Structure 1
Amino acid sequence: MESMVVSEQLLPLKGAYNFRDMGGLKTHDGRKVKKGLIFRSADLTGLTAEDIRYLKTFDFRLIYDYRDKAEADQRPDPQIGRERHERVAVNGEDKATAHSEWEPETFYKTFTREKFTQVYEQMPIRNASYRRMMSLVAQPEKNMPFVHHCAGGRDRTGVGAMLILTTLGVPFETIMDDYMLSNLTLVDYHKELFEEASQYLTGRALKQFEEDFSLHEEFLEASMDSIIAAYGTFDHYLTMEFRITSDVRERIKNFCLE
């Protein structure tokens, strides 16, 4: 079942990991997210000329990047067609919610599942990147089809996908299944990461890192729990964080659902 879902959502690209169409997911009211509107991905720097030709057919309006400047400068996104590119760092340019994230030795040696869960708790609250992204989602007729992505398309993008899909009325269990698919779509990406980790960790410590760094349901649950703890309901969160009122939300749904 999972492999069938993966092959249905995953785009056949040679140069990008985890590039998926978020369409096809069912909502509480029995509708479905339209295909060809909202896409999620890892970074796009390795897209081949053939990949770009294929992606041009989607006529993207926007590519939205959650990475910080150093990441984006090192692995820049190519222009695919006529789309606009925007980048607002989820962790802040000063890595405010993931202090050691991009210094490899420190990252691998100090990584714990508990600490990473705390990063997920912090991500959706008063975050300039998600505020900007959701303001663009609130004007779907101007900004879709669009792609949102980070480095691996799993953590920062996973939280962004949760915000979009919950706004559209997709049940949390479905969102969680979609989130956990990245463990399948990122096997090669994780392998590369674990090879790098093996320069700093060995034996049991390396095995522990491989286990802890894989996606776990508790990560995304921490983000949603944090929203409910801070705002009481997701509806209230949408209004207070993003000024997405029930009327605006209905308009987004009517554009994105079928």
Structure 2
Amino acid sequence: MTTQHVTRSTLLPLQGAFNFRDMGGLRAADGRTVKPGLLFRAAELTGLTEEDHLYLKPIGMRTVFDYRNRGEAEEKPDPAIGEAVNVRVPANEAAEHAPHVTMEQMLASGHHKAFTEDMLEKLYVQLPVGNASYKKLMALLSEPETNLPLVHHCAGGRDRTGVGSMLILMTLGVPYETILEDYLYSNDTLQGFNRSMFEAASKYVSAEELQALGEAMLLRERYLKASLRSIEQAYGTFERYLAEEFGIDESVRARIQAYCLE
């Protein structure tokens, strides 16, 4: 049975995790759609409740892929989700061995002022090329029979996870315009997450700084475009990028698509 295609991934009704979405239903350029129940994206998972685990159990998750650095993962460790294998490869390698700074410490020290639109755009430029985290993600995707269903996540499920989602969906042949719309959907699905963060921030920063932080937190089209532009500048085409960065040639890509599309 073919799923009616949608332009945004489906938010799961979980109580202990924000932005946990089934990427199924998105339509590829050839008219097929991504199968539901195979590929998921999410924010941090440490708060999943017993009821959430019961909800997720029928999915039969095989892989939990974590983009966070060591400090983030130690502060909020991934739970066991059924029999899934937990894999963590930091997308921001530079932060892997840096002292972990909590949100409260960052706000109290004023380091949040470095969190700007330009800083985020630079991050998106750096993420997709020569990154061990995405190389591992795409290696897992290249063996879907063994590794899917899979959920990939970071802290908010927006930046590092947003780039990973773009790579997965472009590999499956989903048009960039659809991927962009789904990426920007996190501005809606993370409203509660951001609200709780801003409430905590209000103890440390002025109303003006809080408003500026809120503006900086919004996902923007130019961020994801910066990642795509970085790929095109390095490789010329996405197809060459897949082949040379990840070893995904036309035959491997066709096999992935055959498994993940309907």
Which category of TM-score, normalised to the shorter sequence, fits these structures? Answer: over 0.9
Runs (4+) of structure 1 moved beyond 4 Å? 99-103
Q: Kindly state the Cα deviation for residue 93 of structure 1 after the two structures are TM-superposed.
A: 5.7
CA RMSD, 1 decimal: 2.1
Can you give the 5+ residue segments of structure 2 that lack an aligned partner in the other structure? 1-5
- What SS does the corresponding residue of 2:46 show, helix, strand or coil? coil
1:178 and 2:179 aligned = no
What is the identity, as a one-letter code, of the residue corresponding to 2:164?
G
Partner of residue 161, structure 2? 157
- Measure, in 1, the Cα distance between the counterparts of 2:144 and 2:189: 27
Q: 1:210 to 1:171 in 2, by over 3 A?
A: same
Q: How does 1:29-178 map to 2 (within 5 A)?
A: 29-92=30-93, 94-95=95-96, 104-105=106-107, 106-178=110-182
Mean alpha-carbon deviation: is it higher for 204-213 or for 137-146? 204-213
Please give the per-residue CA displacement for 1:43-70, whole angstroms capped at 9, x wherever unaligned.
1111111110111110011110101111
What is the identity, as a one-letter code, of the residue corresponding to 1:241?
E
- Measure, in 1, the Cα distance between the counterparts of 2:243 and 2:209: 43
Query: Does structure 2 conserve the Cα–Cα contact (< 8 Å) formed by 1:227 and 1:237?
Result: yes
- Taking structure 2 as the reference length, the TM-score comes to 0.91
Query: Does structure 2 conserve the Cα–Cα contact (< 8 Å) formed by 1:176 and 1:220?
Result: yes
- How many residue pairs match? The answer is 253
- Measure, in 2, the Cα distance between the counterparts of 1:136 and 1:34: 17
Can you give the 5+ residue segments of structure 1 that lack an aligned partner in the other structure? none
- Taking structure 1 as the reference length, the TM-score comes to 0.92
Query: Does structure 1 conserve the Cα–Cα contact (< 8 Å) formed by 2:39 and 2:148?
Result: yes
- Measure, in 2, the Cα distance between the counterparts of 1:101 and 1:95: 14
Q: Kindly state the Cα deviation for residue 196 of structure 1 after the two structures are TM-superposed.
A: 3.3
Partner of residue 200, structure 2? 196
Please give the per-residue CA displacement for 1:134-156, whole angstroms capped at 9, x wherever unaligned.
00000001100111001111110
Q: Kindly state the Cα deviation for residue 94 of structure 1 after the two structures are TM-superposed.
A: 3.1
Please give the per-residue CA displacement for 1:224-250, whole angstroms capped at 9, x wherever unaligned.
111111110000111111011111001
What is the identity, as a one-letter code, of the residue corresponding to 1:195?
E
